[in-house]
Amino acid sequence: MPFRCSLAFENNFFNEEIRQLIYGKGRNSYRIIFTIVDNSVQILFVRHAAQEPIIDEFNEE
């Protein structure tokens, strides 16, 4: 049920709908960032929850 997941911060910067699932608890939590294409889920990134949003990394380059 991928549509139950919230929209990710990065959703504002892409044409596709970008969603996230927080997996784990406390210091061991990760953001699974994905998009839904047709009837399948495409995982874009798996990042530690403490990391900055992906957009910040692109702006540094």
pTM of the model: 0.80
Q: How many domains does the chain contain in total?
A: 1
Q: Which domain holds residue 9?
A: 2-60
pLDDT category, 56, cuts 50, 70, 90? low
Q: Is the pLDDT of residue 42 over 70?
A: yes
Confidence of residue 8 (pLDDT cuts 50, 70, 90): very high
Take residue 26 and report the two structure tokens written for it: 């406390």
Write down the pLDDT at residue 14.
86
Structure tokens at 45: 């990134």
Q: pLDDT tens digits for 12-40?
A: 888 999 999 999 999 999 999 999 999 99
DSSP letter string, the chain:
-GGGSEEPGGGGGSSS-EEEEEESSGGG-EEEEEEEETTEEEEEEEEETTSPPHHHHHHH-
Q: Rounded to whole angstroms, how far apart are CA atoms 47 and 11?
A: 16
